[in-house]
Amino acid sequence: MKTFEFGQDKTKLSSIVLGLMRIKNLSPSQVEELIETALSVGINTFDLADIYGGGRSEEILGQILKNRPDLREQMWIQSKCGIRIEEFTYFDFSKEHILNSVEGILQRLHIDQLDSLLLHRPDVLMEPEEVAEAFDHLEKTGKVRHFGVSNQNPMMIELLKTAVSQPLMINQLQLSAAFAPEFDAGFHVNMEKNISNSGTTSIFEYARANDMVIQAWSVLQHGYFQGVFIGDQTFEKLNQVLNRLAQQYQTTPSAIAIAWVLRYPTNMQAIIGTTQPQRILEAAQASEITLSRKEWYEIYLAAGKTLP
Ligand SMILES: NC(=O)c1ccc[n+]([C@@H]2O[C@H](COP(=O)([O-])OP(=O)(O)OC[C@H]3O[C@@H](n4cnc5c(N)ncnc54)[C@H](OP(=O)(O)O)[C@@H]3O)[C@@H](O)[C@H]2O)c1
C-alpha cells in the first residue's frame, strides 16, 4: 500500500481510505471484518461523518472499538460535521454546532480524540471567527488533532484562513473517471467554448500549492450518486478501456478506475465505499498501479470528455 507522510509527526497515511457511509445496515461483526480486511492490506484511514446513517455508522464503529481498543491504535479516524438534516437539509458552521457535533461523534465512537475533522459542505453564512473559536477549543482540549474541509473552493478556504490558525490540511472532493468537472474546466481555460459546470476552478491546483491532501470520494460513481459506472452500458467505451487495462495490469476494472484517481500527482487518497471485503482487496491493488500519462488521458476521453 502506497503511503505518504502527513502532518508534523509524519504519520503514514494510506492512499486508499475506507469510507463508512454505507454500513448502516451491516452488523458490527460484518463491519469488523471490513476493517480487519482494510488493515490487512495497509489501509489505515477511515472516513465517517456525523450524518452517515443518521449517526449509525459511527455507532457501529463505536461498538466495535469498545470491544477492540487494539484496533483504535491502528486506525486514523476522521469524521465530518456541518450538515444538518432536519425538516430539510442545510449547513451550519456555527461554533455551537461544530462543538456539539464533535461531542456527539466522540460519544458514538467511544473514543476521546478524532485524528481529523472536516467541515462537510460549505455554509455560506459561516463566520470564520466562530469556526476559529471552535477549532481552538477542539485543539486545546485534545478532541481533534487535525482539521480540514470538504467540497470547498479555494476562496472559501482562504476566507476560513483569515481567522482559523490551524492548518487546513485536507480537502475532500468528488472525483472519478466519469466525474471530473474541475479537470474539464481546467482543460478548457482560454477556449472559446468554456466548460465550467461546477462554478469553481483550480480546487485541485490550490490544494497542491497549499500542501493539502486531496481525498477523492465516490471514485466509482457517475453524477451525484447516480450509480457505479463499472459494467454500466452507458459507459461502454470507458468500460472497454478499463477492461483492457485491467487485463494488461492483471487486476480488475475498478482497480484501474481507482488508479486513475490516484494518478493525480499530489498527496492523494481515494475513498472507497464498498461494504464487501473482497472489493477492498481489489481496490487495494490500485495503490500499486501507476498509469502512464497516455493511459490516464485515454480513460478520460473514453468517459466521453473532450480535450482542446
Ligand atoms: N465529502 C463528501 O461530501 C462525501 C460524499 C459522499 C461520500 N463521501 C465519502 O466517500 C466514501 C465513498 O463514497 P461512495 O460509497 O459513493 O464510493 P464508491 O466506492 O464509488 O461507491 C461504493 C458503492 O459502489 C458499489 N460498488 C463498488 N464496486 C463495485 C463494482 N465493481 N460493481 C458494482 N458496484 C460496486 C458498492 O457496493 P458494495 O457495497 O456492494 O461493494 C457501493 O454501493 C463514503 O463512504 C464517504 O466516506 C464523502
pLDDT at 213 (0 to 100): 98
Say how many Å lie between the CA of residue 50 and the centre of ligand 1: 17
Specify whether the CB–CB gap between 120 and 147 falls below 8 A: no
Exposure of 295 in the CB half-sphere (CA atoms within 13 A): 21
pLDDT in tens, 113-157: 999 999 999 999 999 999 999 999 999 999 999 999 999 999 999
CA atoms of 289 and 284, how far apart (whole Å): 10
Q: How confident is the model at residue 200 (pLDDT cuts 50, 70, 90)?
A: low
pLDDT at 198 (0 to 100): 52
Mean pLDDT, the chain, integer: 96
User: Does the pLDDT of residue 164 top 70, yes or no?
Assistant: yes
Q: Is 221 in the pocket of ligand 1 (CB under 6 A)?
A: yes
User: Does the pLDDT of residue 287 top 90, yes or no?
Assistant: yes
User: Does the pLDDT of residue 199 top 80, yes or no?
Assistant: no
Ligand 1, atom 27, lies closest to the CA of: 274
Q: Is 215 in the pocket of ligand 1 (CB under 6 A)?
A: no
Q: What is the largest CA-CA distance in the chain?
A: 60
Say how many Å lie between the CA of residue 99 and the centre of ligand 1: 28
Q: Kind of pairing, strands 144-150 and 168-174?
A: parallel
Considering only residues 192 and 83, tell me which one the structure prediction assigns the higher pLDDT: 83
Which positions are catalytic?
52
pLDDT at 190 (0 to 100): 79
pLDDT at 185 (0 to 100): 86
Report the percent of the chain where pLDDT is more than 90. 94
pLDDT at 189 (0 to 100): 82
What is the CA 68 to chain-centroid distance, rounded?
25
Q: What are phi and psi for residue 75, nearest 5 degrees? A: -115, 135
User: Does the pLDDT of residue 219 top 70, yes or no?
Assistant: yes
Please state, in angstroms and as integers, the Cα–Cα distance from residue 275 to each residue in 31, 75, 208, 278, following that order. 8, 18, 31, 9
Q: Is 252 in the pocket of ligand 1 (CB under 6 A)?
A: no
Ligand 1, atom 45, lies closest to the CA of: 19
Amino acid letter at 137?
H
